[in-house]
Amino acid sequence: MGGADGNGVLPDIKGFIKSSFLDWDGMVVSVIFLPGCNLACRYCHNWSIVAEPTVHPTIPWSVVKEHLVENSDFIDGVCVTGGEPTIHDGLPNILRELRSIGLRIKLDTNGTKSNVLRGLFSEGLLDYIAMDLKAPLDQRYADIVGPCDIEAIRESVCLILESGIGHEFRTTVVRGIHDHSVIEAISSSVTPEGNLVLQQFVPERARDADYRKILRFERDELLSLAAAARPFVKRVVVRGI
Ligand code: SF4
């Protein structure tokens, strides 16, 4: 564990970006990376922090906190990402620490820990949430991520939509997996109140060697997939074109 502060034991921090313009639309944020994950996505682009967290030095919370406090006028918020942050019992503690500094908080999640999300929402610890929706909510999900609890993912979708905070559901689109019918099935699970982001797959960073050979979609193809999603959701954004 990454130590303790006024709010209890904190998870290890395995990466820290001081300022990013890319991780929360329209905001300047710092980014905190927590290790490990309960899934094993074949296209994971951050596999080292998932599978080999010990090779990454732990960054003391005191160092992160000092930077955040000193730059709280410049930074709009903090993005907590991973790996999968919700697997850590100490996640609420680090979010409370961020709150005590007065920072806005975005969480990236794979949505498999709906019980954790429920607690974070009820305590008002999040201002924005980005949840992966990797496939239609059926047996096709496990083809990409390995064994997973589809009902928990479905419940997380509902919790996010009910929470009223800013959100996005994100699908990394992979040639050979995500075609128009798959995108329609994913976006229909988001409901008309949901925001969907289709993001470009980065083959060279994929965990699975077979995935590294897949050609990424062209711009026109991505826009066409976005058009397939548009009738089902409130808003569609394409990233990485
Ligand atoms: S959920 Fe995210 S961090 Fe976990 S294996 Fe999948 S892509 Fe990697």
Token pair for residue 184?
A: 């329609």
pLDDT at 240: 87
CA 111 / ligand 1 centre spacing (Å) = 11
Token pair for residue 159?
A: 């919790």
Report how far residue 128's alpha carbon sits from residue 105's, in angstroms, rounded to the nearest whole number: 7
Report how far residue 124's alpha carbon sits from residue 144's, in angstroms, rounded to the nearest whole number: 32
Q: Is there a contact between 55 and 4 (Cβ–Cβ < 8 Å)?
A: no
Instruction: Answer whether residue 229 shows pLDDT above 60.
Output: yes
Quick one: average pLDDT of 122-130? Answer: 98
Please report where in the chains the tokens 């995500």 appear, as a residue: 178
pLDDT at 5: 64
Identify the residue whose C-alpha is closest to ligand 1 atom 6: 41
Judged by average pLDDT, the poorest of 4-8, 61-65, 139-143 is: 4-8
Q: DSSP code of 142? A: H
Judged by average pLDDT, the poorest of 33-37, 83-87, 190-194, 211-215 is: 190-194
The mean pLDDT of the chain is 94
For ligand 1, say whether the CB of 77 is within 6 Å of any of its atoms: no
CA 73 / ligand 1 centre spacing (Å) = 32
Confidence band of 241 (pLDDT split at 50, 70, 90): confident
CA 233 / ligand 1 centre spacing (Å) = 24
For ligand 1, say whether the CB of 83 is within 6 Å of any of its atoms: yes
Instruction: Answer whether residue 1 shows pLDDT above 60.
Output: no
pLDDT at 203: 93
- Bridge-based pairing of strands 4-5 and 8-9 is antiparallel
Report how far residue 183's alpha carbon sits from residue 196's, in angstroms, rounded to the nearest whole number: 10
Instruction: Answer whether residue 6 shows pLDDT above 80.
Output: no
pLDDT at 3: 60
Instruction: Answer whether residue 7 shows pLDDT above 90.
Output: no
Q: Which of 234, 147, 238, 151 is nearest to 195 (CA)?
A: 234
Confidence band of 112 (pLDDT split at 50, 70, 90): very high
Confidence band of 21 (pLDDT split at 50, 70, 90): very high
State pLDDT tens for residues 61-96.
999 999 999 999 999 999 999 999 999 999 999 999
State pLDDT tens for residues 189-205.
988 899 999 999 999 98
Q: DSSP code of 232? A: G
State pLDDT tens for residues 160-169.
999 999 999 9
